[in-house]
Amino acid sequence: MRKTVIVGALAALSLGSVCSAALAQNCPSPLHIIAPAAPGGGLDQTGRALQQILVTEKLDDNVQVLNVPGAGGTIGIAQMVTQSRKDPGTLMVAANVLIGAILSNGSSITLADTRPVARLVSEYEVIVVPKDSPFKTLQDLLDALKADPGKVSWAGGSAGGTDQITAALIAKAVGVDPRKVNYIAFAGGGEALASVLGGKVSAGLNTYSEFREQIASGDLRLLAVAGPERLPKVDAPTLKEQGVDVVAQVWRMVTAPPGITDEQHAALVACVKAAATSEAWSKLLAERGWTSGLMTGPELDAFVKSETDITTDVLREIGFIK
Domain assignment present for residue 140? The answer is: yes
Q: Which domain holds residue 168?
A: 123-249
Last residue of a domain, one of 190, 219, 249: 249
| 158-209 per-position pLDDT tens digit | 888 899 999 999 999 999 999 999 999 987 678 889 999 999 999 999 999 8
Q: What is the pTM of this model?
A: 0.80
Give the total number of structural domains in the chain.
2
Distance CA 238, CA 245 (A): 9
Domain assignment present for residue 322? The answer is: no
Positions in the chain short of pLDDT 70? 1-25, 188
Last residue of a domain, one of 249, 264, 290: 249
- The pLDDT value recorded for residue 198 is 96
- The pLDDT value recorded for residue 15 is 35
23 shares a domain with 113: yes
Which amino acid makes up residue 12?
Answer: A
72 shares a domain with 54: yes
Q: Could you give the count of Cα atoms lying within 13 Å of 183 in the half-sphere of its Cβ?
A: 26
- The pLDDT value recorded for residue 289 is 79
Domain CATH for 185: 3.40.190.10
| 287-307 per-position pLDDT tens digit | 887 889 999 999 999 999 999
Task: Choose among 43, 41, 47: nearest CA to 91.
Answer: 47
104 shares a domain with 143: no
130 shares a domain with 278: no
